[in-house]
Amino acid sequence: MVRLSGRSATRRPRPSESPHASAGPRPQGPGGNGARPGALWSVVTGRSVAGQVFVLQVVIVLLLVVSAVVAQVLQVRHDTDLEAQNRSIAVAQSFAHAPGTAAALRSPDPTAILQPKAEATRKATGVDFVVVMNTNGIRYTHPKPDRIGKKFVGTIGPAVAGGTVVEHVNGTIGPLVQVVVPVKDRSGKVVGLVSSGITTAHVGGAANQQLPLLLAAAAAALALATAGTALVSRRLLRQTHGLGPHEMTRMYEHHDAVLHAVREGVLIVGDGGRLLLANDEAQRLLDLPQDAERRSVLELGLDDETAALLASGRVATDEVHLVKDRLLAINQRPTAVRGGPAGSVATLRDSTELRALSGRAEVARERLNMLYDAGVGIGTSLDVGRTAEELAGLAVPRFADFATVDLFDAVLHGEEPKPGTALRRAACAGVRKDCPLYPVGERIRFVATSPQARSLTTGQSVLVPVLREASGWRAQHPERTGQVLEYGIHSLITVPLRAGNLVLGVVNFWRSEKPQPFDSEELALAEELVTRAAVSIDNARRYTREHSMAVTLQRSLLPRSLPEQGALEIAYRYLPAQAGVGGDWFDVLPLSGGRVALVVGDVVGHGLHAAATMGRLRTAVHNFSALDLPPDELLGLLDELVGRIDQDETAADGSAAIAGATCLYAVYDPVSRRCSIARAGHPPPALVPPEGGVEFPEVPAGPPLGLGGLPFEAAELELAEGSRLVLYTDGLVEDRERDIDVGLELLSDALRGTPDGSPEETCRAVLDRLPARPSDDVALIVARTRVLGGDRVAEWQVPSDPAAVSEVRSAVTRRLADWDLEELGFTTELILSELVTNAIRYGRSPIGVRLLRDRTLICEVSDSSTTSPHLRYAATTDEGGRGLFLVAQLAERWGTRYTPHGKIIWAEQPLP
């Protein structure tokens, strides 16, 4: 409890007390508090907190009552006006629509007919007047006959136009509401006007009679509220002991000073062992949680003996308890003396002797903790810059106020350092951000007299206790070093980053906040810290070198640009993995007949081996595609190749075979719009039709390449023009944190979000859903289909008769003329003559000729024979054998591809 000294001796006497009346005993009220005479007067005067609360509550209640009365009066007036308006409109409209009113207005003497009716209506309805007038406002009726024939006072324009006029006016009989309505004949023409009005006094009489009752009820409510407020304030007066605002403020200030300004911990524990209050020092000494108050002391994480003492409430004097790492002297006294509440007050004092004895042990333990944290927290990634930042961040502020790491440029790129070259600041950490030291990224060439240069040359650490006296350091950059000294940095330790015989750079520790300079013990700690970090930085350097080599190899093996072709509009993306280099690859291969092959594959594993294997497979796909094989047959050849690679490498070094590779191979024909797809353990393609939606076609899932023994199966799709075919590797849809089904759903959402997007926009939308650096390589191809229309394709069936060759030549010449390709007529005739003649002579029917106008002019001759012609050089005495040689010389490319029904010999010529 906190008692104000002199409180009882200086209390002012109440008006009902005499200065000598306090000598006698006071009667006790409820709760043991003295019910002082004149307590009600103290409440009313407002000197105490209770009195001020009473006055404030009375004022609030009074304002509420007055507001209610005013609101009620305003509501009565509003209702009165509304009632007067409604009654006047009803009377006027009823009279205007009454039978005979319109006819009376057209009679020679309207007054004689309408005056009796108007007076009868006025008396029957209780309105003050019913006036009938013509459209010019001349009255035909009026309660006072002498006003008949005079002009109506009011607005009649809207009523003449067919509307209704409502006005609030102050007439000779008082405030009233008058209404003017039109009188219309059967044709809807306005032939006169009817006005009716009533004073608000006649309507609001009943409401006015209720006003005294309302005021009486308000007065009763005010009296009851005042009485209730007085009772509440009297109870508050007893609970605050009659203290005024200034006295309670002074009491709080004393309470705050005692509890939070003293360097002793103070705890107040209530009945039942619950903590009621703990000052700042107690929070620090006991390391209490933020929500400690109102909790049992047994639940605060204290040791058993200390918690039992505080919960028991027993008297204790200077009992010493070990609380975590502190020895505390505890004094405890109960609060239930002199009628106080049940509980106890405990004071805590930290032992100064313990602090003096454990000071050095604390420093040693902190250094050991820092070295342990260095082993755990430095080198969490294989990134040189990140590792340097971890070293600098660990040293600040536990060891130094600022720490900088300077590395040779070669180290940052994974190479071995070259002595004598400049360094680059790789990391900088400090207790403040405005330090004038060299910023991160700055190239620095230290002068020979600087501590950093000496450390790099000798490989030894350098301690500079007082920088202001180190002329060699100040010679590095006089202007900047002067700014550093003005900033407050006064001591330096420079330690070389050594990994074996290599010096990777230097680490600088700067001190500014602590006035003491670095000493020899701190130099030893800095050397130990940097030695541990140097191993991690060198590991990161080696990894950077290997990673760069692998990335370079991988980039050299991937296509640098896409070949020209007209069947597909293609966009692609390749994202390397966050760590390591994978074996993902893709390719676009133009085939004969305007067709295009799309390939996406993934070699299982990471590193140089995976990248090299990927290059071998990509080269094999290039070679196999030249044979114009169907996708399933091509994957079969790849499967055999991967199996042989595994066997050769296993036999060579005895290591286990690689886990194989996956591949998806698709061939699209722009003439037939058909796409043949086969996959070997690869995720299925996605298809976005022109009308929208996303599909994953059912493509038979073959085993991964290298397993052998199982055949592959192709699927045939017919794609509408403008369809988007999306091929990808598993890094796009698979992740350690989500299942492949979730990844496929995310891919579908991204594709649905670009219904009319180009392949470039589709690639961008898909990759926006990936992290900046995925955990696995990602290869993505988006191909939008084009169609080679019928106007660019010509086909003929050729009978197995040599005489038909001339007819084919003529038809081809005419078609070339239609295409404005007469320049190619001669060479095309020669090529087709040779190919058709060979098909007639050596092949089997049916024989067909197809001409395609794409990026090149393609001539195709098909037959049902599977015998392939071979190019050879004829001797001078040979009569034949020069046809295919002639075709090879005239065409840019030529070749043979097999179909399920035979073969096709094709030749391409560049367009003029």
Of the pLDDT bands very low, low, confident and very high (cuts 50, 70, 90), residue 137 is confident
Residue 88 pLDDT greater than 70, yes or no: yes
| Separation of alpha carbons 212 and 65, rounded Å | 14
> Worst-scoring range by mean pLDDT, 408-412, 570-574, 867-871, 873-877?
873-877
pLDDT at residue 218 in the model: 74
Please list, in sequence order, all residues whose beta carbon lies within 8 angstroms of the beta carbon of residue 294, skipping any fewer than 6 positions away: 274, 275, 276
Residue with tokens 């926006």: 768
Q: Six-digit token pair at 694?
A: 């996303």
Residue 677 pLDDT greater than 90, yes or no: yes
DSSP 143: S
8 Å CB contact between 183 and 194:
yes
- pLDDT tens-digit series, residues 283-313: 888 888 888 888 888 888 888 888 888 888 8
Q: Which amino acid is at 421?
A: T
Residue 26 pLDDT greater than 60, yes or no: no
- Cα–Cα distances (Å) from 226 to 222, 506, 528, in that order, read 6, 81, 79
pLDDT at residue 655 in the model: 54
Residue 663 CB neighbour total at 10 angstroms: 28
Higher pLDDT, 373 or 784: 784
Nearest to 469 by CA among 483, 481, 454, 456: 481
| Separation of alpha carbons 603 and 606, rounded Å | 8
- pLDDT tens-digit series, residues 73-84: 777 777 777 877
The DSSP string of 33-58 is -B--TTHHHHHHHT-SHHHHHHHHHH
8 Å CB contact between 174 and 191:
no
| Separation of alpha carbons 264 and 279, rounded Å | 9
Strand 502-511 with 582-590, pairing: unpaired
| Separation of alpha carbons 171 and 338, rounded Å | 81
What is the pLDDT of the chain when averaged over all its residues? 82
pLDDT at residue 248 in the model: 66
Residue 726 pLDDT greater than 50, yes or no: yes
Strand 701-702 with 674-680, pairing: parallel
pLDDT at residue 235 in the model: 67
Of the pLDDT bands very low, low, confident and very high (cuts 50, 70, 90), residue 34 is very low
| Separation of alpha carbons 807 and 859, rounded Å | 16
pLDDT at residue 659 in the model: 56
pTM over the 0.85 mark: no
- pLDDT tens-digit series, residues 780-838: 999 999 999 889 999 999 988 888 888 888 999 999 999 999 998 889 888 888 888 88
8 Å CB contact between 35 and 238:
yes
3-state secondary structure of 308: helix
> Worst-scoring range by mean pLDDT, 79-93, 333-347, 870-884?
870-884
